Amino acid sequence: MPSTYAHFCFGREIYKRLPAAIKNIVGEQPQLFNIGLHGPDIFFYYKPLTNNPVNTLGFRMHNQPASDFFLYAADVLEDFKKGSPEYKASLSYLMGFICHFVLDSTCHGYIENKIRVSGLSHTTIETEFDRHLMIKDHLNPLSHHLTDHIHPTPENVLIIHHFFDELTVRQIYKSLKSMIWYNDLLVAPGKIKRSLILALLKLTGNYREMHGLIVSRQPVETCSDSCLRLEKLFTKAIELGLTLLKNYWDYIINNEPIDKYFIRTFGPEMNWQSIPVYSYQEELTYEI
């Protein structure tokens, strides 16, 4: 998964380009759109150091065809009166969720092959891309808080619960609150806090996979190439995102056929090992 800031930025770029009808819905319910941008990732934060039904759901959804969720979600929407506040809020959430699916499915194949070739962790590659985007936005990646756009209000949680009725309202609320808490915890511009967090990860056996979630004090040089590639994929995904958002809108509103792309999972495509991984110098001139 591209990480927290990348998904937020992708939603921001999509929103600027949305057709008026969809933009109006999202504009009325921006908080749910912003939560939707993180798709099933919100469930990763529920008691993340243990395996449990909530975070397992997040991992399982990434490996299933996205259509499983989006076709079910369309059925859930039928329970609401069209044009009602609940209907608009739900639709805004789903528009954000599609953005998450698009960016994940576009980037994951390259990320998997970058991991295979370089030996870097998934989290390191994605956190470095977050750093790259924050610097472009003139933010300090060591101190910027990534979840200011997440609002786990009772109203927002109840809307989300309609789409995940196998979970309790409390579990969804705790997932969102934990997403904020853990992201804030990992903001560590000072040496003391950073050292304590890294020591804790080692003690709990989570260092290898999770230390990459902390933005390193200096850029990871071996990710300079992947940041360039992911930026290209990010840009390419915008057009696909707009196409799928419009298609899903037409599927819900006008009973148009749903795009076959939704059969894809959130993960890498089948031939991901054939995706080229280049050096930084080669990446400068590579076009996707």
* 265 within a domain of the structure (yes/no): no
Instruction: Give the DSSP per-residue string, 128-167.
Output: HHHHHHHHHTT--TTT--TTTT----HHHHHHHHTT-TTS
What does the pLDDT read at residue 211? 67
Cβ atoms within 10 Å, residue 137: 12
Domain of 149, in residue numbers: 4-256
Global pTM reads 0.95
DSSP-derived secondary structure letter, 257: P
Task: Assess contact for 160 and 154: CB atoms under 8 A.
Answer: no
* 225 within a domain of the structure (yes/no): yes
Cα-Cα-Cα-Cα dihedral sign, residues 71, 30, 55, 189: positive
What does the pLDDT read at residue 193? 86
**Structural domains counted in the chain:** 1
Phi (first) and psi of residue 104, to 5 degrees: -60, -50
What does the pLDDT read at residue 1? 45
* Count of positions (residues) in the chain: 288
Residues of the chain with pLDDT under 50: 1
Q: 47: Cβ–Cβ under 8 A, 6 or more apart, which residues?
A: 54, 55, 178
* 288 within a domain of the structure (yes/no): no
Rounded distance between C-alpha atoms, residue 195 and residue 159, angstroms: 39
In this predicted model, what pLDDT tens digit does every residue of 46-96 receive, in sequence order? Answer: 998 889 999 999 999 999 999 999 999 999 999 999 999 999 999 999 999
